[in-house]
Amino acid sequence: MQEIWAWLLVNPARIMVLVSILFTLAVLRAEHGGRKSGGSGWLTLFRIGVGIIFSVVTAIVAAFFGGIVAFFGYLALQILVCVVAPVILVDRL
């Protein structure tokens, strides 16, 4: 377990991606329950809006610790987690 924490603490952007994944899963779970009771998808739209801002912040943090390549890598990863995944997964629910 300590190795996992050590790996996460090398670059704080890794922790931010983990938080983002957990938040996306929580929103998807709530959205699934809401759709069964007639929800309209506002949680997913909120997730995408917040996710875009959080993606840029994560990429900037990654750039401080890993350079320009880390900036674009974490930006792409966060866009996948915060924007693409919620749209695809909610559509399949």
pLDDT of 44 strictly over 70: yes
pLDDT at site 40: 66
Q: Which single residue is written with the structure tokens 């506002």?
A: 42
pTM attached to this predicted model: 0.84
Q: What is the full DSSP assignment across 18-70?
A: HHHHHHHHHHHHHHHHHHHTT--SHHHHHHHHHHHHHHHHHHHHHHHHH-HHH
Cα separation of 20 and 55, whole Å? 9
Q: Please, which pLDDT band fits residue 37 given cuts at 50, 70 and 90?
A: low
